[in-house]
């Protein structure tokens, strides 16, 4: 019987984490199950850094961004002693089940630990919306709305100054934020990782707008977009503990190329971590709440090695191994809809 559940949030922060934490704790109260909050992702389980979560500790956190538990990009499989400490602390804490909230990397660790005997349930979190087996991860809708609002605001200054505005958004290797925010914000060109950038086409579309009397353009580019077969544009060569490079800078390169090839004044705006911060939208609050409740139900039922998932309007369970097997990239049908409005 499950009497104590451990809860951690790992990887990048995003809006909606606190609604999940609140939902887990409130649902556990129905079952008289104790909840131990593990601080700073997998790092907290390695260092045995925890906090007891109860009704009072989750009161008022629903609208707050970030996570009251803290987070990190710690990978316990980088060092053998860390993995050993993690297993020892799991036993010391007398946890009957563990709920891990995170993206591809956090849930990848969760899947490995499940195969090593730890009772774990996963909850999908990523603003990139690139986890398989779920229509949406919480955090994406808030990031999408933030990016859309930024594009809306850039329209007015672009039109006033007759400029080309390049907007760089997050998404790593999936262009969901770029394509959906671009459509919603009325962008004139959208560039995503799934399709190599064709500069001749970009320049042609911008000139086409000017020939029609439009003196400004909005270009949305995902941080993971590439020029043909060239390497990804990165901020530094250093890798994180999961082997990821720090992307960023494609917007600056693109803006210089556009200005040099067209002569039109061009500016770049990098939204960066603004997309990950702030109050979650109503959609993310509800989705996070539904995920948290379902995760507890799976744990109580002993259905481990599973991830909660939104498919249609239903919250179901899918194998963790399936959810992390491959990235969910942009559906080309959606991108073709966006292309109708290019130029």
34 is a catalytic site residue:
no
**Where does residue 281 rank: exposed (0-12), middle (13-18), buried (19+ CB within 10 A)?**
buried
For the segment 159-174, what is each residue's pLDDT rounded down to a tens digit?
999 999 999 999 889 9
d(CA 298, CA 309): 12
pLDDT at 123: 98
Topology (CATH level 3) of domain 4-138+280-323: Rossmann fold (3.40.50)
Asked if the model's pLDDT at residue 236 lies above 70, the reply is: no
pLDDT at 230: 72
Phi first, then psi, for residue 178 (nearest 5°) are -60, -50
Phi-psi group of 155: left, alpha or beta (phi > 0 → left; psi -120 to 50 → alpha; rest → beta): alpha
Q: Does domain 141-277 have CATH number 3.40.30.10?
A: no
**What number of helices (H) and strands (E) belong to the chain?**
11, 13
Phi first, then psi, for residue 276 (nearest 5°) are -95, -10
pLDDT at 243: 67
> What are the residue ranges spanned by the domains of the chain?
4-138+280-323, 141-277
Instruction: Report how far Cα 315 is from the mean position of its chain's Cα atoms.
Output: 19
Q: Would you say the CATH fold of 141-277 matches that of 4-138+280-323?
A: yes
Percent of the residues in the chain that have a pLDDT greater than 90, as a whole number: 91
Non-local (6+) Cβ contacts of 262 within 8 A are 164, 203, 206, 207
Confidence of residue 247 (pLDDT cuts 50, 70, 90): confident
- The active-site residue out of 111, 128, 141, 188 is 128
For the segment 20-73, what is each residue's pLDDT rounded down to a tens digit?
999 999 999 999 999 999 999 999 999 999 999 999 999 999 999 999 999 999
pLDDT at 1: 86
d(CA 290, CA 221): 32
Report field, pTM of the whole predicted structure over 0.85: yes
Mean pLDDT of the chain: 94
């Amino acid at each position: 019987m499950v009497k104590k559940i451990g809860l951690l949030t790992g990887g990048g922060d995003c809006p909606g984490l606190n609604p999940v934490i609140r939902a887990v704790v409130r649902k556990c109260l129905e079952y008289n199950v104790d909840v131990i909050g593990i601080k700073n992702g997998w790092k907290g389980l390695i260092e045995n850094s925890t906090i007891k979560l109860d009704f009072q500790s989750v009161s008022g956190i629903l609208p707050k961004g970030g996570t009251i538990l803290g987070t990190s990009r710690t990978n316990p499989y980088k060092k053998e002693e860390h993995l050993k400490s993690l297993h020892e602390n799991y036993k010391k804490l007398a946890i009957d089940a563990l709920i891990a909230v995170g993206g591809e990397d956090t849930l990848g660790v969760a899947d490995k630990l499940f195969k090593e005997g730890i009772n774990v349930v996963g909850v999908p979190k990523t603003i990139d919306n690139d986890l398989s087996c779920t229509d949406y991860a919480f955090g994406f809708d808030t990031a999408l709305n933030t990016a859309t609002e930024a594009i809306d605001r850039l329209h007015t200054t672009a039109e006033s100054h007759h400029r080309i505005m390049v907007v760089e958004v997050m998404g790593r290797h999936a262009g969901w934020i770029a394509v959906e925010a671009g459509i919603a914000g009325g962008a004139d060109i959208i560039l995503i990782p799934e399709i190599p950038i064709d500069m001749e086409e970009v320049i042609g579309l911008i000139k086409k707008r000017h020939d029609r009397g439009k003196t400004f353009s909005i270009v949305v580019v995902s941080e993971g977009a590439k020029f043909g077969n060239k390497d990804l544009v990165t901020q530094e060569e250093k890798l994180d503990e999961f082997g990821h490079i720090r992307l960023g800078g494609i917007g600056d390169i693109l803006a210089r190329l556009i200005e040099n090839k067209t002569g039109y004044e061009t500016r770049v705006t990098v939204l960066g971590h603004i997309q990950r911060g702030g109050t979650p939208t109503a959609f993310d609050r509800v989705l996070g709440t539904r995920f948290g409740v379902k995760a507890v139900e799976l744990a109580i039922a002993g259905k481990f090695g599973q991830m909660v998932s939104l498919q249609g309007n239903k919250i179901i369970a899918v194998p963790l191994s399936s959810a992390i097997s491959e990235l969910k990239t942009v559906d080309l049908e959606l991108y073709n809809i966006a292309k109708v409005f290019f130029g």
